[in-house]
C-alpha cells in the first residue's frame, strides 16, 4: 500500500492521481447522477473496462474502493473523510474544495479507469 496523508492506495499511480487531482486548478467532478446516488452514503459495484469488478463505498469515515476477487474484497484505495476543523493531515483537502466527498468519489472512478489500462 502507498500511504498518503489522507488515505492509502494499492499503487503509487493511484496515490499520484489523487495528489494531482487535489492540486489541479480544475479538479475532477462527479457527474450529478452519481453524486445524487452516493452522497447520502452507500455503495455500488463498478465494472472496469478490463472486466475487473470494484466496490465503491462512501461512509462518514472514508471513501473506499475495493477490488472484488471472487468472494473476497481487497482494499484498493481509501480516502479518509476530513474532520470539520483543526490542523494536521486528517483535516487536509485541497484549497477551494467545498465538497471533499464528491472529489474523493471522482478520484476513485479515475482509479478504476487507471486499473483498466494496466
d(CA 47, CA 113): 10
pTM above 0.85, yes or no: no
Rounded Cα gap, residues 75 and 109, in angstroms = 14
In the prediction, which pLDDT does 3 show?
Answer: 74
Whole-angstrom distance, CA of residue 80 vs CA of residue 91: 9
Q: How far apart are CA 51 and CA 27, in angstroms?
A: 27
Structural domain boundaries in the chain:
2-116
Handedness of CA 57, 58, 61, 64 (dihedral sign): positive
- pLDDT by 10s per residue, the chain, length 118: 777 777 899 988 888 988 888 788 787 887 777 777 776 668 888 888 888 899 999 888 888 999 999 999 999 999 887 655 556 655 556 555 666 778 888 899 888 888 767 6
d(CA 73, CA 116): 18
- For residue 23, give every residue at least 6 positions away whose Cβ sits within 8 Å of its Cβ, in sequence order, or none: 94
Amino acid at each position: 500500500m502507498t500511504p498518503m496523508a489522507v488515505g492509502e492506495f494499492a499503487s503509487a499511480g493511484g496515490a499520484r492521481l489523487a495528489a494531482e487531482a487535489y492540486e489541479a486548478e480544475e479538479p475532477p467532478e462527479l457527474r450529478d447522477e452519481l453524486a445524487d446516488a452516493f452522497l447520502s452514503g452507500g455503495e455500488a459495484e463498478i465494472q472496469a473496462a478490463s472486466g475487473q469488478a470494484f466496490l465503491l463505498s462512501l461512509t462518514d469515515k472514508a471513501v473506499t474502493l475495493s477490488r472484488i476477487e471472487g468472494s473476497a474484497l481487497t482494499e484498493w484505495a481509501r480516502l479518509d473523510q476530513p474532520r470539520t476543523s483543526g490542523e494536521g493531515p486528517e483535516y487536509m483537502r485541497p484549497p477551494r474544495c467545498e465538497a471533499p466527498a464528491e472529489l474523493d468519489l471522482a478520484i476513485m472512478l479515475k482509479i478504476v479507469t487507471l486499473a483498466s489500462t494496466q
